[in-house]
Amino acid sequence: MHRKASLVLEDAVRNIYTVVAFCAGNKVMELYQLQLNKIFKQSFLHGVAIGFAFGFSQFLLFACNALLLWYTAMCVNKGYVGTPTALKEYMVFSFATFALVEPFGLAPYILKRRKSLISVFEIIDRVPKIDPDDNKAMKPPNVYGSIELKNVDFCYPSRPEVLVLSNFSLKVNGGQTIAVVGVSGSGKSTIISLIERFYDPVSGQVLLDGRDLKQYNLRWLRSHLGLVQQEPIIFSTTIRENIIYARHNASEAEIKEAARIANAHHFISSLPHGYDTHVGMRGVDLTPGQKQRIAIARVILKNAPILLLDEASSSIESESSRVVQEALDTLVMGNKTTILIAHRAAMMRHVDNIVVLNGGRIVEEGTHDSLVAKNGLYVRLMQPHFGGGLHVAITGVWDQHSGIDRHRKRVLWQG
């Protein structure tokens, strides 16, 4: 009943910086008061009903006890029953009366929580469509790393009317590095979700080493995938615990080596408690760049044969961008199968192939140089990140005043 009013306060607290920045405190209170006014009469009547039911139940309880005590006293006085027997019978009937009457007082609370209990039991009884503990599924001893999305159609369960991927096909050979770029909402992150098997496609197949992902044990599959997300997930514990989350039996030397490769060892060592430093709720005590480097160290320690990087450097502040980029370059340059979602030109230098998405389909594909030469969607998407590296080379006759070739011009990348 108070859910909408609570949501107003939750949103205000969660986004307190925005509320204060726009001086919207009074507006929040007005919205909260409006929601409370809508439920005031209902809440008042509901409270009165609960209070009356509770009071009536307590009246019945004490009235029954009083009547029973009076009747017992009369029986003892007239000699119908002995005092010890009367006390025993009184105690038994008193507890029986309490057991019968007390539920009437609890009934309003039971009815109030009934809907909540129904939703809880629905979640408990729900059978997941993707079973993570199917022991009959395959667990091959080795993974080559070849990934293929074959004629995939996909839409999210919450938006079944929106087709994110349409007849989508993509093949990544073992040990190959593929970069996926595209406009927002074109299905880039969806590809990683399908490979991680967070979802199954509506139609088509996602294959690993030539076999459908549905044939593999889910825990086995994810143990061979290394994921670095756009927003790094940091747990409210020590840096050491965050790094070994990928492999709990890792040695101290392995933890520090992973941190060094991720360019994180230096800043971790400079902290007061080093690797035993608590990072606060969701890593609040760390900068975005530091959190991302810890997330990269976690993936390095896992040493999975397949890497999935979802715009891993897009939210990093400029001063940390270089060290994070170096860590990502080291990660990508290995012999692992890598699918990289990125919009930074620096990330494109170490990939074997680039796929450009638009509207859930591949519209361009090739190497960085070949896509730049096409001067298509890829160039338009990457233009802000090229900086001074993208130049228009002019061939033909130059205009003396404007310096522009009136006949031809060619886009070149100078790395």
Could you tell me the pLDDT band of residue 388, with boundaries at 50, 70 and 90?
very low
CATH superfamily of 147-375: P-loop containing nucleotide triphosphate hydrolases (3.40.50.300)
Highest mean pLDDT among 82-86, 108-112, 173-177, 234-238: 173-177
Residue boundaries of the structural domains of the chain: 3-125, 147-375, 384-413
CA–CA gap between residue 271 and residue 327 (Å, rounded): 20
Q: What is the pLDDT of residues 40-92, one digit of tens each?
A: 777 778 778 877 877 887 787 788 778 878 888 888 888 787 888 877 877 88
Q: Is the pLDDT of residue 18 over 70?
A: no
* Strand 203-208 relative to strand 390-395, pairing: unpaired
Locate 94 and state its tokens: 């008193």
What pairs with residue 211 in β-bridges? 208
Q: What is the pLDDT of residues 298-343, one digit of tens each?
A: 888 888 889 888 875 555 545 455 666 676 767 666 678 888 887 6
